[in-house]
Structure 1
């Protein structure tokens, strides 16, 4: 599967935006910590890992 350079840049931008959002969420959670936030954080991390694996996968 060949991905064009533009598509790669779009995916990279989405990844960076997701990382920034995750940073703000984690910072907010540390301020008002609740145990029930853990699944949401785990899901965010899992999505980021899957996205990173997709981006670095040899084409």
Structure 2
């Protein structure tokens, strides 16, 4: 997406910043409401950290 210009490094920086300030308790409550399939539960719960790490790698 960076290569195509759909997003830029400022967008990634803002996303990373938002994830750093995410209310983890509320996020986990929302995951329980959405109730993903059990085999996706770990990915769902770890999604903010996974995305934040990828943002850091791209910045």
**Structure with greater helix share of residues:** 1
TM-score greater than 0.5 by the shorter chain: no
- Scaled by the length of structure 1, the TM-score of the pair is 0.38
- Scaled by the length of structure 2, the TM-score of the pair is 0.38
